[in-house]
Amino acid sequence: MRDDAVGEILVQPDDLSRRVRELGAQITEDYHGRDLLLVGVLKGAVFFLSDLMRHIDVPCELDFMAVASYGSTTDSSGVVRILKDLDAPIDGRHVLIVEDIVDSGLTLQYLLRNLGARDPKSIEVCALLTKPERRKVSVEPRYVGFEIPNRFVIGYGLDHGERYRNLPYVAALVEGA
Ligand code: IMP
Ligand code: MG
């Protein structure tokens, strides 16, 4: 796809698949002997989640949440609204939230509080990407794919105005292109 908005590639397809495999192996080891419930955060995490889940070798189930944060397209406000809730209760379950990216951390903080209040047996986070420089609240995912600099990124599930999710790599967005 030729598009002027697609800038420097920050994570190549090979690096994505290698890291996803490593994360799957780590999660498999950590959750050995336990059943796992993966909670994907729609829509950005879908690509990462479906690749990751195929590298997890413990009994696992899948559910989804969709949230929206009020704010501009590139900045979240911290006021989070649930667009789609989980299909089933999570009390007594080992929950792993799967996110595309942790930016300010506000969305994740909300999700951890909201799901944490439903009595899961454990709750952890696996994020493909993190932008530590942008953090406004302290939330640290247990599993992280890549730390990236403070740039708006697209691809492998991440969008700008709903586009570019289908890029097979993670690239910087060229703003105003
Ligand atoms: P936070 O609440 O500021 O941590 O923002 C989290 C959400 O904002 C993510 O789940 C993404 O949907 C979106 N987001 C943050 N940074 C980016 C980016 O660089 N590209 C695309 N989406 C982003
Ligand atoms: Mg988004």
Q: Residues 40-57: pLDDT tens digits? A: 999 999 999 999 999 999
Amino acid residing at 77: S
Residues less than 5 Å from ion ligand 2, measured at CB = 44
Instruction: Say if residues 96 and 39 touch (Cβ distance below 8 Å).
Output: yes
pLDDT of residue 70 exceeding 80, the answer is no
pLDDT of residue 64 exceeding 90, the answer is yes
- From the CA of 131, give the closest atom in ligand 1: 16
pLDDT of the residue at 137: 92
User: Helix, strand or coil for residue 75?
Assistant: coil
Task: Tell me what percent of the residues of the chain surpass a pLDDT of 70.
Answer: 94
pLDDT of the residue at 72: 62
pLDDT of residue 96 exceeding 70, the answer is yes
pLDDT of residue 141 exceeding 80, the answer is yes
Domains belonging to the chain, first-starting first, are 6-173 (3.40.50.2020)
Q: Which residue, by CA, sits nearest to atom 15 of ligand 1?
A: 103
pLDDT of residue 97 exceeding 70, the answer is yes
Instruction: Say if residues 169 and 13 touch (Cβ distance below 8 Å).
Output: yes
Query: Rounded to two decimals, what is the model's pTM?
Result: 0.95
CA dihedral for 79, 136, 166, 142, sign (positive or negative): negative
